[in-house]
Amino acid sequence: MDSSTAITRLAHAVPAGRQAAVLEATTAQLRKDLNAPQLVEPAVGDGAFEALRAAVRTVLEERVSGGALGQVLYRVDVPEGQYRRAMEAGGLHELAGAVVLRCLQKVLTRERAAGRG
């Protein structure tokens, strides 16, 4: 399953009343893990997580050129095998999706642990 499909499935599993909070928390997690305070939170809606993916791709491109991609993957907790599969399947676009997906998973795990999910 590609990251777009996985992100869409997870995002649609979030109750409508929690979508804005989950999007905000996911953006905050991405800012922290990517050390990217400039990352802009997209508007809530069907394209929100794809907009995040596009923003994350830009950050990943910067990290690649700065030689810091490995550090990002460690902080986000993207396993090496998943990194390789993403790069083979769609390059940085697919990797950005994997990064967004992993941060969304972190947020939803915290939501469930707090009894909100």
Tell me, rounded to whole angstroms, the distance of Cα 109 from its chain centroid.
14
Please name which of 60, 114, 62, 85 lies closest in space to residue 106, comparing C-alpha atoms. Answer: 114
- Selected residue with higher pLDDT from 40 and 9: 40
Whole-model pTM above 0.85?
yes
Q: What is the pLDDT of residues 68-96, one digit of tens each?
A: 999 999 999 999 999 999 999 999 999 99
The reported pLDDT for the residue numbered 117 is: 63
The reported pLDDT for the residue numbered 73 is: 94
Q: Which pLDDT band holds residue 14 (cuts at 50, 70, 90)?
A: confident
